[in-house]
């Protein structure tokens, strides 16, 4: 299964989370504004009561003894109005503090929720990668036992090499995620490949390649080696993920080593499908970048297509395998380390989601 298929099958969740959080914060602001408006109305009424009480006191004073009882009532009304105004002012201050606290708590919850969702998206991206690269490790170990491959490695006659090349071509026709498959002898010389008409690599010396050196040192046909993403000049400077296993006598896992089979995974097109396939809506995509970085923090895949293998990303992980934080530019960065899949332990890669402020 290709990375494109895996990405298409993966279900996302919480696509409307940002909208829900925005609505919650907006409603909190609306409650604050409504409360402030009502308190202002109360204070206007108490102000009018105080003015009426003052006018009543003035008139009662003019009335002399006949207005003395009314002046007592007017004084009580003014005192009550003053108390109500004081209560409303305290209410305004307390509500403002409590609503601000609620707003801050909502914002913190929003940051946590958005950050958590971004971590999930980062995990999803790296998990899709892991599952597919696990399949690559299965492929190379299986095909290394193919009789045509074993026979060619045992005796690299022109006929055997032609037959092995034809067999590798049949495999490539069925597995479109590979650029080419190379069969190498024990000395690191390519003796057959699946697309000889496209890639003229027969006779190429790859003994210096890290993947060959590690594969030649494997002690069993059940083992494999995985190389970091690299640019392969012999494959038209394509970015590849190379997996290799030893070819052994009789196709037996403990048989005498005869050579090495290497499969070159078409990294660029497959990885791009994953980073561009994150479950984000159009508004989120405008400010979000999805990346895969390797153990050296090289950006080996990015949804914005603006990075080369020479670009690196600084992650503030603090020893964590996953998490999120606010970067110096106020963007939110979420990351998750490769969890591995089955017997594939991963290469220390990370899924990374960066959302601009």
As a whole number of angstroms, the distance between CA 143 and CA 334 comes to 38
- CB burial class (10 A; 0-12, 13-18, 19+) of residue 207? middle
Question: 266-310: per-residue pLDDT in tens?
Answer: 999 999 999 999 988 888 899 999 999 999 999 999 999 888 888
DSSP codes, 237-290? TEEEEEEEEEEEGGG-TTSPEEEEEEEEEEHHHHHHHHHT-SS--HHHHTTEEE
pTM of the model: 0.74
Cβ neighbours for 183, distance < 8 A, ≥ 6 positions apart: 149, 152, 153, 164, 168, 190, 191, 192, 193, 247, 259, 260, 261
**Is residue 125 a contact partner of residue 290, using CB atoms and an 8 Å limit?**
yes
Between strands 288-293 and 257-266, the pairing is unpaired
Structural domain spans, the chain: 15-128, 144-270, 278-355
Does pLDDT of 16 surpass 60? no
Question: Fold identical between 15-128 and 278-355?
Answer: no
CATH of 144-270, one of 2.170.120.12, 3.30.450.20, 3.40.50.300, 3.40.50.1980: 3.30.450.20
92, two tokens: 């305004």
φ, ψ (nearest 5 deg) of residue 291: -135, 155
Does pLDDT of 3 surpass 60? no
- CB burial class (10 A; 0-12, 13-18, 19+) of residue 301? buried
pLDDT at 264: 98
- What band does 202 get if pLDDT is binned at 50, 70 and 90? very high
270, two tokens: 């497959």
147, two tokens: 């009789």
**Is residue 289 a contact partner of residue 354, using CB atoms and an 8 Å limit?**
yes
State the sign of the Cα–Cα–Cα–Cα dihedral 319, 322, 325, 327.
Answer: positive
**Is residue 106 a contact partner of residue 25, using CB atoms and an 8 Å limit?**
yes
Cβ neighbours for 323, distance < 8 A, ≥ 6 positions apart: 115, 119, 317, 334, 335
- CA distances to 25, 31, 33, 231 from 95, rounded to whole Å, are 16, 10, 10, 62
pLDDT at 6: 44
CATH of 278-355, one of 3.30.450, 1.10.357, 2.20.25, 3.40.50: 3.30.450
Name all contacts of 80-83 with Cβ < 8 Å and 24+ positions apart. 80/49, 81/46, 81/47, 81/49, 81/50, 81/53, 82/46, 82/50
Question: 65-115: per-residue pLDDT in tens?
Answer: 666 666 677 677 777 777 777 877 887 787 778 777 777 777 777 777 788
Among candidates 345, 271, 274, 351, which has minimal Cα distance to 317?
351
Mean pLDDT, rounded, for 338-354:
91
**Is residue 300 a contact partner of residue 292, using CB atoms and an 8 Å limit?**
yes
pLDDT at 17: 58
pLDDT at 13: 41
Does pLDDT of 4 surpass 50? no
pLDDT at 237: 96
Which range is least confidently modeled, 12-16, 185-189, 245-249, 352-356? 12-16
Question: 134-166: per-residue pLDDT in tens?
Answer: 999 999 999 999 999 999 999 989 999 999 999
Residue 334: strand pairing partners: 324, 353
Among candidates 282, 252, 18, which has minimal Cα distance to 147?
252
Does pLDDT of 11 surpass 50? no
**Residue for token pair 């690191």:** 188
- What band does 18 get if pLDDT is binned at 50, 70 and 90? low
As a whole number of angstroms, the distance between CA 341 and CA 29 comes to 46
Question: 304-331: per-residue pLDDT in tens?
Answer: 988 888 899 999 988 899 999 999 999 9
As a whole number of angstroms, the distance between CA 249 and CA 20 comes to 62
Question: 214-261: per-residue pLDDT in tens?
Answer: 999 999 999 999 999 999 999 999 999 999 999 999 999 999 999 999
CATH of 15-128, one of 3.30.930.10, 1.10.287.950, 3.40.50.300, 1.10.3720.10: 1.10.287.950
As a whole number of angstroms, the distance between CA 261 and CA 67 comes to 113
Among candidates 169, 172, 137, 132, which has minimal Cα distance to 267?
132
């Amino acid at each position: 299964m290709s990375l494109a298929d895996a990405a298409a099958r993966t279900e996302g969740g919480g696509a409307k989370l940002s909208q829900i959080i925005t609505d919650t914060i907006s409603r909190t602001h609306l409650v604050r504004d409504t409360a402030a408006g009502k308190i202002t109305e109360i204070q206007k009424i108490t102000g009018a009561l105080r003015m009426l009480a003052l006018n009543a006191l003035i008139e009662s004073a003019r009335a002399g003894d006949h207005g003395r009882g009314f002046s007592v009532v007017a004084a009580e009304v003014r005192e009550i109005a003053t108390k109500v105004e004081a209560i409303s002012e305290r209410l305004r201050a307390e509500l403002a503090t409590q609503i601000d606290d609620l707003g801050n708590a909502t914002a913190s919850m929003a940051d946590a929720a958005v950050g958590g969702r971004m971590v999930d998206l980062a995990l999803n991206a790296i998990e899709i990668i892991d599952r597919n690269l696990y399949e690559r490790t299965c492929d190379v170990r299986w095909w290394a036992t193919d009789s045509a491959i074993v026979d060619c490695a045992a005796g690299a006659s022109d006929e055997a090499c032609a037959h092995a090349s034809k067999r590798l071509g049949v495999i490539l026709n069925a597995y479109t995620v590979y650029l080419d498959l190379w069969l190498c002898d024990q000395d690191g010389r390519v003796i057959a490949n699946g697309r000889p008409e496209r890639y003229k690599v027969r006779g190429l010396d790859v003994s210096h390649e890290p993947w060959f050196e590690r594969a030649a040192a494997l002690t069993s046909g059940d083992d494999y080696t995985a190389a970091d993403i690299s640019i392969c000049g012999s494959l038209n400077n394509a970015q590849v993920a190379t997996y290799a296993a030893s070819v052994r006598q009789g196709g037996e896992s403990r048989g005498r080593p005869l050579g090495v089979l290497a499969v070159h995974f078409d990294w660029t097109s497959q990885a791009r499908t994953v980073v561009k396939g994150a479950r984000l809506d159009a508004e989120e995509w405008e400010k979000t970048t999805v990346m895969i970085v390797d153990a050296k923090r090289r950006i080996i895949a990015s949804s914005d297509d603006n990075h080369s293998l020479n670009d690196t990303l600084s992650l503030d992980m603090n020893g964590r395998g996953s998490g999120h934080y606010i970067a110096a530019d106020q963007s939110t960065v979420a990351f998750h380390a490769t969890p591995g899949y089955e017997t594939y332990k991963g290469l220390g890669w990370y899924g990374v989601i960066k959302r601009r402020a």
